[in-house]
């Protein structure tokens, strides 16, 4: 079994990352050749986790991710499995939290008016 789209030189990946991905693909091939389907599937899970982390962090572009995902996908299909979903890149850099709506502050000892405009009092209960 020879996966198409193995990591190759000239990409945006570091040599270390490229070697890590390549080692995983070679380990999948070796496991499959030994008949160790479960081991091959676990290695493919690790490969996809690493690939997805690279994509989400912005260390790999969409085109290169797609080529490497195709290797994962074809190997998984050859083992009779369905590929997992592709990673969706997350924005790189600081993100701003969504503003929370604010309620006007009530004077000490009073509650803000409830939906009925009655100061939040419950029917049949005295207010303080």
pLDDT digits (tens, 9 = 90+) for 94-128: 555 556 666 666 666 665 555 555 555 555 655 65
Beta-carbon contacts of 77 under 8 Å, excluding residues fewer than 6 positions away, are 83
Contact call for residues 3 and 74 (beta carbons, < 8 A) = yes
Query: How confident is the model at residue 107, as a pLDDT?
Result: 62
Question: What is the pTM for the complete model shown?
Answer: 0.61
Relative orientation angle of helices 15-34 and 62-78, to the nearest 10 degrees: 10
pLDDT tens digits along 11-67: 678 899 989 999 999 999 999 999 999 999 999 999 999 999 999 999 998 899 999
At 40 the three-state DSSP class reads helix
Would you say how long the chain is, in residues?
Answer: 128
Angle at 22 (CA atoms; ends 49, 87), nearest 5 degrees? 25
């Amino acid at each position: 079994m020879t996966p198409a789209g193995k990591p190759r030189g000239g990409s945006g990946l570091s040599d270390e990352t490229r070697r890590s991905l390549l080692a995983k693909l070679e380990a999948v091939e070796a496991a499959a050749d030994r008949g160790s389907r479960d081991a091959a599937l676990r290695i493919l899970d690790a490969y996809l986790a690493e690939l997805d982390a690279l994509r989400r962090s912005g260390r790999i572009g969409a085109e290169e991710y797609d080529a490497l995902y195709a290797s994962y996908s074809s190997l998984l299909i050859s083992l009779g499995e369905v590929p997992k979903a592709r990673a969706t890149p997350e924005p790189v850099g600081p993100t701003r939290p969504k503003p929370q709506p604010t309620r006007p502050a009530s004077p000490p000892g009073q509650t803000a008016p409830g939906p009925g405009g009655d100061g939040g009092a419950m029917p049949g209960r005295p207010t303080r």
